[in-house]
Amino acid sequence: MIFDRLPPLQTLRAFEATGRLSSMTLAAAELHVTHGAISRQIRMLEEHLGIKLFLRLTRQIILTEEGAEFHHAITRILGELTGESERLRGRNPAMSLRISTGVSFASKWLAPRLSRLKARYPEFDVHLDVTDINADLNSGQVDAAIRYGNGRYRNASAERILEETVTPVCSPGYLSAHNGLADIRALSDCVLLHEDRMLANWEAWFAMVGEKNLRCHQGPSWSHGSMVAEAAIRGEGVALGRSVLIADDIAAGRLVVPFPQYKLKAERGYDLVYRTGSQDTPKVRALRVWLSEEMRSLEE
């Protein structure tokens, strides 16, 4: 049969997420599997098709020309399959909680906690839409969004759920290799890792601690805070870590904080954004309550 030649569905899900997020790490977080599982699924799909779907570069993974064409087709097909499945199952839209949020917050904070939201409100079918493009909350495609911003959003209401600070972090091995970073001037022997477009950057942090003229080795920069944190975990240098994104890595011992007394307030914070007037609907109210509980535990 022709269907016997189809690749396994799990390989297509891994491929779709990796291609959309340009990261196996982020795809693994979204699908609640390990990085190794995603890598194996991609390799299996490439062997099945007999082509390379990705170019694996030093710090990123990008679709090949054939991979991009296949990704476009798979995205369309999986979207149609999902829509038809939901129609046939007759799911009640009122019981579907769709949350839009950015790549870094999803991978480093929300996705690892999503099972707790589902356990707290089993009546809702929770779906996470991961994108750095602001969703249109008036289109009905998502119920609420968690955004890293300034608190002002067009045609929507928002409430600040968490402020954020930045502070230097590195791997335990990197700290040991640099004699424990006994004082701030020891950073002059370190490679500094950067997040693009952050005003709360190394220059601002050094100015805050009174060392604005300190000369350090300028390392690479990334578009996402989660990628900066991952580079620090790999021991590539010292990152100016965002407090929310690094909380779990610090708790797990993957990152250490050499100067905990010096925290610079970030210019943005995390906002829960929703359609104006929808704050007391069952779905949005449930999300607000759960986020409030989680944020309190984070601040303790």
**Binning pLDDT at 50, 70 and 90, where does residue 291 land?**
very high
Residue 267 and residue 199 in contact, taking contact as beta carbons nearer than 8 Å? yes
What local confidence, expressed as pLDDT, does residue 88 receive?
A: 59
What does the pLDDT read at residue 94?
A: 64
Q: Is the pLDDT of residue 1 over 70?
A: no
pLDDT at 238: 97
Cα–Cα distance between 54 and 11 in angstroms, integer? 14
| Cα(182)–Cα(68) distance, integer angstroms | 48
Angle 203-60-206 from CA coordinates, rounded to 5°: 10
What is the pLDDT averaged over residues 153-157? 84
Residue 300 has pLDDT above 60, yes or no: no
**Confidence label for 127 from pLDDT (cuts 50, 70 and 90):** confident
Integer angstrom CA distances of residue 297 from 6, 112, 294: 46, 15, 5
Mean pLDDT of 87-115: 80
Q: How far apart are CA 294 and CA 291, in angstroms?
A: 5
Query: Would the pTM count as exceeding 0.75?
Result: no
Of 55-59, 89-93, 105-109, 206-210, where does mean pLDDT reach its minimum? 89-93
Render pLDDT for 56-83 as a digit per residue (tens, 0 to 9).
877 778 899 999 899 988 888 887 777 6
Q: How does the average pLDDT of the chain come out, rounded?
A: 88
The phi and psi torsions of 289 (rounded to 5 degrees) equal -65, -45
- Whole-number pLDDT of residue 262: 96
**Residues 6 or more apart whose Cβ sits within 8 Å of residue 50:** none
Q: CB–CB of 55/65 below 8 Å? A: no
Q: Is residue 276 over pLDDT 90? A: no
pLDDT at res. 220: 92
Percentage of the chain beyond pLDDT 70 is 93
Position 159 scores a pLDDT of 92
CA angle 290, 255, 208 (to 5 degrees): 90
The most distant pair of C-alpha atoms in the chain lies apart, rounded to whole Å, by 71
Q: Is the pLDDT assigned to residue 87 strictly greater than 70?
A: no
Give pLDDT, residue 248: 92
- H runs (alpha helix) in 169-214: 172-177, 202-208
Residue 195's pLDDT is 93
Contact criterion met (CB below 8 Å) for 201 and 194: yes
| Percent of the chain with pLDDT strictly greater than 90 | 50
Strands in 191-195's sheet, in edge-to-edge order, are: 217-222, 191-195, 238-242, 165-169, 264-265
CA distances 137 to 70, 142, 144, 154, 161, Å, are: 30, 6, 7, 10, 18
Q: Which residue from 5, 75, 10, 11 is spatially nearest to 43, judged by alpha carbons?
A: 11
User: In a 3-state reduction of DSSP, which class is residue 271?
Assistant: strand
pLDDT in tens, 209-261: 999 888 777 889 998 999 999 999 999 999 999 999 999 999 999 999 999 99
Specify the pLDDT at position 7.
85
Quick one: pLDDT at residue 253? 96
Interacting residues of 299 by C-beta distance below 8 A, sequence separation 6+: none
- Cβ(58)–Cβ(25) below 8 Å: no
